[in-house]
Amino acid sequence: MKKLLALVMTLAMLLSMTAFASAQSSLAVSLSSEPDTLDPALNSAVDGATMIVHLFSGLAAWTQDAEGKFVIAPDAAVELPEGVANEDGSVTYTYTLKDGLVWSDGQPLTAKDFEFAWKRAASTELGADYGYMFEIVKGYGTPDLAVSAKDDKTLEVTINNAASYWNELLAFPVYFPVREDVVGNEAWATDPSTYVGNGPYTMTGWEHNSVITLTKNANYHDADKVTMEELKFYLSDDSNNMLANFKNGTWLLIDDVPTSEIAALKTEYPNEFVIAGQLGTYYVNMNVNKNLLPADSTLTGVELEKANAEVRKALALLFDRNYVVNDIAQGGQTPASSFVAMGLTDADGTEFYQNAGHSEEFDGYYNVAEDAYEGNFEAAMEILKKYYTYDEATGMFTNFPTMEYLYNTSEGHKAIAEYLQSVFAGVGVGMNLTNQEWNTFLNTRKEGNYEVARNGWIGDYNDPISFLDMWTSGSGNNDVQFGKGAHAELAMYNLDLTPFGLETKVENGTWAETYDVLISAVKASTDNEARFAMMHLAEDMLMETGCLIPVYYYTDLYMISEKVDGFYSIPLGYKYFMYTTVAQ
């Protein structure tokens, strides 16, 4: 009997050792090149956000339910309670933190850390790109932001009015906690020795322009559920390099592939080449303060901007979005006729983009049907002939100033840039191409030091406002520079909100006096139909400037090894690796 028992124990041990040996404890992936920052308040890139959701834990988090549906669930909070309505229409929420929360360095985490983090992220002193996401909180823009720690475990916040997307905001990185003594060091978020978080992982290595290493955080409140011991985020903007490392098994997920390889990869890797839905739009943006008219033009002020807007909209008609989608991108994208992405619902349950624009013949602001391209092109040429000298013999404009197109280093972005360059060159419009490394590119675009640039936006939460509030004059994500520089002084916009029961009616106002006011009205509205109608007005204003040129609605295209189990990615672009296992 003893021999039999010993044999059973030996077999059990061998099975256990075999199971351990059959799984990897480290997962290597590549999302992009060097991030600008991994500070939750300052990051504005999706790849950076993916790393941050592994390093921090907010009150709420995106997760999957038993049916695989993406849902918001409590994270650092015990629960996500219903708010209490106040007499002035505001809503107060009270959150209780889970027991025993600590930072990755072992220090206690308290409600005061959330209060500090939110006030820091919302402050003008920090100047965070996403600071405007706290506009919903009462007291935004003043020292009295309505968030306070009642004790170590209780956080109270009052928002201006009920908002269906409030819980989604709590799962967004800008709402994550940070500790005051840690962020006092400005370089804290780029150095593993000073990086302190409260999430599933802690940063243990950052070889700049090479790899960022995350190691399971034993102090995380749900550490027992984290299955992957180590994550290595390799930093690359070379899609050929990424694909080579995927093929040889070094990297098990890559977030970019060479466009020239897409057709073959669909066939060669039918289960590992993934095209998933995503709430986003790939677009070209044009700096509102850059003049496109000939040097001898005498237009100034408002008349000059009206002419520039007409030229921008004409340029948007010159290229074939179906060609971009089918022959260049090849990732199942859909030609875009609006800036607000498809997949976002309107007040009546239909898709928001289907009700955008004012044409009875097509949805949105541009007719993107395959048979519409020739008509679009001809319409564009007629508009441009109003402002530029046209040589009928050559079919070329002869005095269109040469533009500069900025994109971040990527074969896919380059291919689209070269296509646009060739289309414009075909009518005598010159455009030089400039590429920059990712974090440099982000800052160049943000600072307005460009003329034309590639861009993309993935919704921060499932509501059209997340595509619209970024264009207010004070927003850090306002790359077009609306309401900034010379554009701040142009009084040329109209706004009438009296049909919605408001007193606001502005004629020939500035961007701040109209668009900013409109977005504030949207956020203050508790009338669902009026709110969505006002959001359509906001997109109308944006598209009338011609500064936002939609190209296609995103899909999320990536490759993931069949050996990886437990991975998921949400339509907002974040990828989750903490619950993965990797078979040998």
Distances (CA, A) of 547 to 55, 130, 147: 36, 21, 37
According to DSSP, the β-strands at 154-159 and 70-74 are unpaired
Return d(Cα 158, Cα 146) in angstroms, integer: 6
Q: What separation, in Å, do the N-terminal and C-terminal C-alpha atoms of the chain show? A: 36
Distances (CA, A) of 120 to 77, 220, 494: 20, 23, 34
**Residue 415 is encoded by which pair of tokens?**
């291919």
Please list the rounded mean pLDDT of every run of 10 residues in the chain (584 residues).
45 44 83 93 94 98 90 97 96 98 98 98 95 96 95 98 95 97 94 97 96 98 97 96 97 95 95 94 98 96 98 98 96 97 93 95 97 97 98 97 97 96 98 96 96 96 95 96 98 98 97 98 94 98 98 96 96 95 91
Contact 98/76 with Cβ under 8 angstroms? yes
Q: What does the pLDDT read at residue 4?
A: 45
**Which positions ≥6 away from 181 have C-beta within 8 Å?**
none
Q: What does the pLDDT read at residue 11?
A: 46
Q: What does the pLDDT read at residue 462?
A: 87
HSE-up (13 A, CA, CB side) for residue 495? 28
Q: What does the pLDDT read at residue 250?
A: 97
CA dihedral sign, ordered 84, 85, 87, 92: positive
* Amino acid (one-letter) located at 19: A
Contact 137/146 with Cβ under 8 angstroms? yes
* Amino acid (one-letter) located at 442: L
Contact 166/159 with Cβ under 8 angstroms? yes
CA dihedral sign, ordered 312, 314, 318, 321: positive
Q: What does the pLDDT read at residue 19?
A: 43
Neighbouring-strand partners of residue 549: 284
Return d(Cα 189, Cα 469) in angstroms, integer: 27
Distances (CA, A) of 467 to 9, 279, 575: 60, 10, 21
* Residue 368: closest CA among 325, 328, 404: 325
**H or E segment at 539?**
helix 528-545
SS3 of 479-521: the string is CCCCCCHHHHHCCCEEEECHHHCCCCEEEEECHHHHHHHHHHH
Distances (CA, A) of 382 to 78, 370, 379, 397: 62, 21, 5, 12
Task: Return the residue matching tokens 């303060």.
Answer: 289
Burial (CB count within 10 angstroms: exposed 0-12, middle 13-18, buried 19+), residue 349: exposed
**Residue 427 is encoded by which pair of tokens?**
């009518």
Kindly list the structural domains of the chain, giving each domain's residue range(s) and its CATH number in brackets, ordered by start. Answer: 24-258+556-583 (3.40.190.10), 278-554 (3.10.105.10)
Return d(Cα 25, Cα 23) in angstroms, integer: 7
Report angle CA 517, 121, 222 to the nearest 5 degrees.
125
Q: What does the pLDDT read at residue 406?
A: 98
Q: What does the pLDDT read at residue 36?
A: 86
Report helix, strand or coil for 452.
Answer: strand
| Size (the chain), residues | 584
pTM of the model: 0.90
Distances (CA, A) of 406 to 161, 336, 369, 400, 417: 40, 21, 28, 18, 9
Return d(Cα 54, Cα 66) in angstroms, integer: 21
**Which positions ≥6 away from 187 have C-beta within 8 Å?**
194
**Which positions ≥6 away from 73 have C-beta within 8 Å?**
60, 61, 62, 63, 80
Q: What is the DSSP string of 42-66?
A: T---HHHHHHHHHH---SEEEEE-T
Contact 471/478 with Cβ under 8 angstroms? yes
Report angle CA 217, 220, 221 to the nearest 5 degrees.
160
Return d(Cα 317, Cα 365) in angstroms, integer: 11
Q: What does the pLDDT read at residue 158?
A: 98
* Residue 342: closest CA among 184, 60, 554: 554
Q: What does the pLDDT read at residue 67?
A: 87
HSE-up (13 A, CA, CB side) for residue 406? 21
* Neighbouring C-beta atoms of residue 444, cutoff 10 Å: 17
Q: What is the DSSP string of 179-202?
A: -HHHHTSTTGGG-TTT----SSEE
* Residue 495: closest CA among 479, 463, 517: 517
**Residue 519 is encoded by which pair of tokens?**
């977005």
* Neighbouring C-beta atoms of residue 21, cutoff 10 Å: 9
